[in-house]
């Protein structure tokens, strides 16, 4: 019995890229203009919350399934930041909720894109069993 895929692989790619670019533009906007941090300098805020997003840029644009897979680890920074902010700062509920939505889009879309695109390309992380 095979399961059918609900969304196409290009749809997962679009979901991931929407979440990714939303985070890339939203984080500096939030942390520098909408609600600047009292404890962090603007340069440190940019470094902590924007630079990690730049690492997977080339691979995401190229559609590399391995990049989509490991970028899920990078997006956990934003997922945890949003949940922490929701917990400790009720005044930032709207901004933290947007960050959580964008991070979730990137995570779920990227995970499924990596899975299905990897299958389409015949990629696998499983080791082949020895025939002996």
pLDDT tens digits, one per residue of 8-63: 899 999 999 999 999 999 999 998 888 887 888 888 988 999 999 999 999 999 99
Question: d(Cα 113, Cα 97) in Å, to the nearest integer?
Answer: 24
* SS3 assignment for the chain: CCCCCCCCHHHHHHHHHHHHHHHHHHHHHHHHHHCCCCCCCHHHHHHHHCHHHHCCHHHHHHCCHHHHHHHHHHHHHHHHHHHHHHHHCHHHHHHHHHHHHHHHHHHHHHHHHHHHHHHHHCCCCCCCCCCC
Question: d(Cα 57, Cα 24) in Å, to the nearest integer?
Answer: 10
pTM value? 0.85
At 1, is the pLDDT very low, low, confident or very high (cuts 50, 70, 90)? very low
What's the confidence (pLDDT) of residue 5? 72
Burial of 122 (0-12, 13-18, 19+ CB in 10 A): exposed
Count other Cβ atoms within 10 Å, centred on residue 6: 8
Question: d(Cα 46, Cα 58) in Å, to the nearest integer?
Answer: 20
pLDDT tens digits, one per residue of 62-99: 999 999 999 999 999 999 999 999 999 999 999 999 99
């Amino acid at each position: 019995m095979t399961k059918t895929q609900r969304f196409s692989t290009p749809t997962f790619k679009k979901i991931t890229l929407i979440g990714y670019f939303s985070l890339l533009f939203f984080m500096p906007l939030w942390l520098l203009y909408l609600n600047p941090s009292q404890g962090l300098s603007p340069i440190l805020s940019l470094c902590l919350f924007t630079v990690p997003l730049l690492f997977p840029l080339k691979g995401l644009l190229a559609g590399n399934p391995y990049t989509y897979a490991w970028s899920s680890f990078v997006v956990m920074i934003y997922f945890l930041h949003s949940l922490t902010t929701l917990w400790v700062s009720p005044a930032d509920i709207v901004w933290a909720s947007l960050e959580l939505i964008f991070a979730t889009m990137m995570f779920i879309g990227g995970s499924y894109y990596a899975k299905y695109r990897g299958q389409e390309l015949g990629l696998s992380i499983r080791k082949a069993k020895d025939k002996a």
